[in-house]
């Protein structure tokens, strides 16, 4: 089968990488179209994937319209050039549109209920949309639910083994506690009007009383915070999250990644309560804490970082989650190889 994978964000590289490697081993041909956003292209090169750039990431309304038109045209061109059978992506806007005028079928993945614009221009056209079982919305007959999370496509123990070398690069050791703070830029279409941690300096000053603080940020930082910024390769962030004592931030994907890796996670956002995966990770597993009030989040962070055996407790919670959930990459492979005769997992 000839498969075109749409990559629109650095997290999509991680989500699809194991699927693409395993699919190639099974004899499938993989083609990649990527939007030039943040470290997306760097990650593709790090993992030795060949790709074509469909468009640069744009942020305003008219820019998004241009991106959609150019992305559709690029996807159509690649489908015709490679005689693609299947187009997949998150949520796969370009592939959904192109599948309506070519022989290719389209499969999308989403775990973001509040991505209203993206969902609006994708769901009516796509053939199949896959969501975690905890996804709050019913999309209809096109929806396939699976018992997992996006992040288990690359952080499941079948694929991920933490590498402590990242600690050496940052002058840390396994026994040294440290906190990772994550700040996002809030310029995605589904983030318009939303907010997270507004007083970054306050968080740093309070938390560094207890242990070392490291920052990963999509945008610029105040001069007083730049010295806390992590200088490490983007593909090594998950290793660092695994060894961290605590994660605090308004980065949604990184918050879930930390929780799944067994690191106590505090998510700070006005979007709290809108996403099923965050609700389940908090209510069913106690791996994450969700706050729309930054001050309450900071109080919780201070409380957690002082608890003895914190990581040991989270390790047990993580083990229970892994017993309950599936290998999402295996699900993806089974889906494409049995489509359209696929039964839900």
Note the pLDDT of residue 344.
55
Mean pLDDT of 140-147: 96
- Cross-strand pairs, 108: 89, 129
DSSP class of residue 132 equals: E
Q: By three-state DSSP, how is residue 158 classified? A: coil
Which tens digit of pLDDT belongs to each residue from 52-63?
Answer: 998 777 667 777
Measured over the CA atoms of residue 120, residue 15, residue 165 and residue 176, the dihedral's sign is positive
For the residues of 48-113, what is the DSSP string, one character each?
Answer: T---EEEEE---SHHHHHHHHHHHHHHHHHHHHHHT-SEEEESS-HHHHHHTTTSS-EEEEE---T
Of 132, 138, 139, nearest to 332 (Cα)? 132
CA distances from 184 to 6, 37, 44, 92, 340 (A): 22, 13, 21, 23, 38
Instruction: For the chain, state the CA radius of gyration.
Output: 20
What the chain holds in terms of domains, given with CATH numbers, is 2-148+326-338 (3.40.50.2000), 165-324 (3.40.50.2000)
pLDDT for residue 192 is more than 80: no
Measured over the CA atoms of residue 260, residue 266, residue 268 and residue 269, the dihedral's sign is positive
For the residues of 244-299, what is the DSSP string, one character each?
Answer: -SEEEES-HHHHHHHHHTT--EEEE-TTTTS-HHHHHHHHTT--EEEES-HHHHHH
Mean pLDDT of 32-38: 93
Which tens digit of pLDDT belongs to each residue from 281-338?
Answer: 999 999 999 999 999 999 999 999 999 999 999 999 999 999 999 999 999 999 999 8
């Amino acid at each position: 089968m000839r498969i075109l994978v749409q990559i629109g964000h650095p997290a999509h590289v991680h989500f699809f990488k194991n699927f693409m490697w395993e699919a190639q081993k099974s004899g499938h041909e993989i083609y990649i179209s990527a939007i030039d956003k943040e470290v997306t292209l760097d990650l593709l090169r790090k993992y030795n994937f060949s790709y074509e750039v469909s468009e640069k990431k744009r942020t305003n309304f008219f820019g998004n319209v241009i991106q959609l038109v150019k992305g559709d045209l690029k996807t159509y061109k690649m489908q015709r050039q490679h005689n693609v059978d299947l187009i997949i992506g998150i949520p796969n806007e370009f592939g959904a549109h192109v599948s309506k005028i070519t022989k290719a079928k389209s499969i999308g993945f989403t775990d973001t209920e509040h991505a209203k614009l993206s969902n609006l221009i994708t769901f009516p056209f796509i053939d199949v949309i896959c969501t975690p079982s905890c996804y709050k919305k019913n999309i209809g007959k096109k929806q396939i639910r699976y018992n997992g999370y996006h992040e288990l496509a690359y952080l499941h123990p079948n694929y991920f083994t933490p590498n402590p070398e990242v600690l050496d690069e940052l002058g840390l050791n396994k026994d040294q506690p440290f906190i990772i703070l994550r700040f996002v830029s809030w310029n995605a279409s589904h983030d318009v009007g939303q907010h997270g941690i507004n007083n970054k300096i306050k968080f740093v000053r309070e938390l560094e009383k207890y242990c070392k603080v490291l920052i990963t940020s999509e945008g610029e930082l105040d001069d007083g915070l730049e010295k806390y910024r992590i200088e490490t390769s983007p593909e090594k962030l998950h290793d660092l999250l695994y060894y961290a004592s605590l994660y605090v931030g308004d980065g949604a994907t990184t918050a879930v990644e930390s929780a799944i890796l067994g690191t106590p996670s505090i998510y700070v956002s006005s979007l709290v309560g809108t996403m099923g995966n965050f609700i389940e990770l908090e209510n069913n597993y106690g791996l994450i804490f969700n706050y729309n009030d930054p001050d309450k989040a900071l109080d919780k962070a201070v409380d957690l970082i002082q608890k003895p055996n914190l990581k040991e407790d989270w390790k047990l919670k993580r083990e229970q989650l892994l017993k309950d959930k599936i290998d999402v990459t295996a699900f993806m492979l089974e889906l494409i190889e049995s489509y359209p005769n696929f039964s839900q997992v």
